[in-house]
Amino acid sequence: MNILITGATGYIGSHIALVLIHKGYNVVLYDNLSNSNHNVNTALKIITGKIIPFIHGDIRDTEKLVEILVDYKIDAVVHLAGKKAVNESIQKPIYYYENNVAGSISLLKAIEKVNLKKVVFSSSATVYGNPQYLPIDEKHSTNPTNPYGQSKLQIENILFDYTKSEQNFGVACLRYFNPVGAHQSGLIGENPKGIPNNLMPYICQVATGKLPYLKIFGNDYNTHDGTGVRDYIHVMDIAEGHLAALNLIENTKGWHTINLGSGQGYSVLEVLITFEQTSNKFIPYKIENRRPGDIDICFAKTEKAEKILKWKAKRTLNDMCWSTWNFHLQSFVNNN
Ligand code: NAD
Ligand code: UD1
């Protein structure tokens, strides 16, 4: 099976590429490198021992996409390309809708033109907004609280409508919770530019001495230790979820919304302590004010994924922390 991955050199796309190549899929990588770089292609070549076709392009370029879908006889698209920073989306909403939503429409036009029938889409638990109940299942209402989340929901709606209009079209819409961790090689992982917004990359930068201490955003939440609780999931589990999703849409048509989470919540302090234990690094922290928009607890109900995808996250918080740190150590060695 020939798979086009959009956003392929990004954090999650590169891990999906590895898992699919390992399973014998022919993979074509597509990315405009707005938030990634060519080093990822080199790393993928080292890990797999294969030269994987990479095309530098934008998902808003419909004609280029049509060419690729035809030339490489693509059977399914795994669509990850998009911008993902919540704060940036609040500052630049038009850019987010243009890149994410118009970009996805452009991709769908190409898909329609070549009569392709299978898409796996990277959505986010952020489409649920503030949890009305826990654990969050796929029937939970959707009410995103920022333009990034809105853009994800709009793409979901467009894909859903297209699935209704187009016979034999199959979409697996995967709503990720909090992906963290890295491939065991330490050659690919998450390396955000500038000061990280998310917890795990921030902790790493404290561990490497780039930042002086972790700011814990509030210890007065309604949780067992007062700090926010989230459903962290290893990026390799996420990647394997895509393999299962491709199997699903190979055999079934129509629309499938599926949570990809571990189903388990961990607090900021639990993540911090586990990171300290696995990295053997002391992580200084200070309790600061709550971050606007943050919630107490969020974690997934995972039964649907288990039933429909026959997939379950299997890696532990230890694995997530160790692999994150291993990736940062390797990056440090390679860059110094
Ligand atoms: P990432 O930024 O590392 O990867 C996204 C990739 O898309 C980047 O390599 C970027 O260069 C590329 N890209 C962006 N706009 C493009 C365009 N117009 N044309 C071509 N390429 C473009 O992010 P990630 O963490 O790997 O996330 C991948 C997807 O998963 C995103 O759609 C994101 O919204 C979704 N998601 C991520 C998380 C998370 O926490 N990382 C959670 C839920 C959902
Ligand atoms: C964030 C995004 C969400 C995205 C998700 C993916 C926001 C508001 N939401 O969610 O859209 O889908 O990442 O991973 O950005 N924390 C600290 N100090 C820090 C960073 C975080 O204490 O420096 C705390 C937060 O308050 C939260 C927890 O760590 O309790 C996790 O935060 P983060 O990694 O940013 O993820 P989310 O807020 O769940």
Ligand 1 atom with the smallest distance to the CA of 35 is 11
The verdict on the CB of residue 254 being under 6 Å from ligand 2 is no
Q: How far, in Å, from the CA of 96 to the mean position of ligand 2?
A: 19
Average pLDDT, the chain: 96
Q: What pTM, to 2 d.p., does this model score? A: 0.97
Nearest CA to ligand 1 atom 6: 7
- The pLDDT tens digits for 278-313 are 999 999 999 999 998 899 999 999 999 999 999 999
Nearest CA to ligand 2 atom 31: 199
Please report whether residue 195 resides in a domain.
Answer: no
Say if residue 74's pLDDT is above 90: yes
Ligand 1 atom with the smallest distance to the CA of 14 is 26
Say if residue 92's pLDDT is above 90: yes
Can you tell me the mean pLDDT for 310-330?
97
**Residue among 4, 34, 154, 262 to mutate when testing ligand 1 (max atoms within 8 A of CB):** 34
Ligand 2 atom with the smallest distance to the CA of 86 is 15
* Backbone φ, ψ for residue 134 (5° rounding): -135, 150
Residues forming the active site: 148
So what's the pLDDT on residue 334?
64
Enter the tokens of residue 240. Answer: 């394997």
Ligand 2 atom with the smallest distance to the CA of 227 is 30
- The pLDDT tens digits for 46-68 are 999 999 999 999 999 999 999 99
Please report whether residue 293 resides in a domain.
Answer: no
- DSSP letters, 93-134, are HHHHIIIIIIHHHHHHHHHHHHT--EEEEEEEGGGG-S-SSS
Q: Give the CATH number for residue 8.
A: 3.40.50.720
CA–CA distance, 184 with 168 (Å, rounded to integer) = 38
CA–CA distance, 55 with 257 (Å, rounded to integer) = 29
CA–CA distance, 127 with 117 (Å, rounded to integer) = 25
Q: Who's near 161: CB < 8 A, 6+ residues apart?
A: none
Q: Provide the 8-state DSSP code for 291.
A: P
Q: Who's near 105: CB < 8 A, 6+ residues apart?
A: 158
Please report whether residue 50 resides in a domain.
Answer: yes
Give the closest residue to 253 by CA, choosing from 139, 148, 170, 327: 170
The one-letter amino acid at 93: P
So what's the pLDDT on residue 194?
84
Please report whether residue 214 resides in a domain.
Answer: no
Please report whether residue 290 resides in a domain.
Answer: no
So what's the pLDDT on residue 251?
87
The verdict on the CB of residue 202 being under 6 Å from ligand 2 is yes
The verdict on the CB of residue 197 being under 6 Å from ligand 2 is yes
- The band of 331, judged by pLDDT with boundaries at 50, 70 and 90, is confident
The verdict on the CB of residue 144 being under 6 Å from ligand 2 is no
So what's the pLDDT on residue 332?
64
Among the bound ligands, name the one nearest to the CA of residue 88: 2
Helix (H) or strand (E) holding 5: strand 2-6
So what's the pLDDT on residue 333?
59
Nearest CA to ligand 1 atom 4: 10
Q: How far, in Å, from the CA of 186 to the mean position of ligand 2?
A: 23
Count of domains for the chain: 1
Say if residue 189's pLDDT is above 70: yes
Please report whether residue 8 resides in a domain.
Answer: yes
Can you tell me the mean pLDDT for 182-199?
92
Question: Distances from the Cα of 114 to the Cαs of 24, 70, 101, in angstroms?
Answer: 24, 7, 20
Give the pocket of ligand 1 (CB within 6 Å).
6-7, 9-13, 31-36, 58-60, 80-84, 99, 103, 122, 124, 176, 179
Helix (H) or strand (E) holding 214: strand 214-217
The rounded radius of gyration (Å) of the Cα atoms in the chain is 19
Q: How far, in Å, from the CA of 236 to the mean position of ligand 2?
A: 20
- Domain extent at residue 77: 2-181+232-262+299-314
Please report whether residue 208 resides in a domain.
Answer: no
Q: How far, in Å, from the CA of 60 to the mean position of ligand 1?
A: 14
Say if residue 336's pLDDT is above 90: no
Please report whether residue 216 resides in a domain.
Answer: no
Helix (H) or strand (E) holding 64: helix 62-71
Helix (H, G, I), strand (E, B) or coil at 48: helix
So what's the pLDDT on residue 66?
98
- The pLDDT tens digits for 249-279 are 998 999 999 999 999 999 999 999 999 999 9
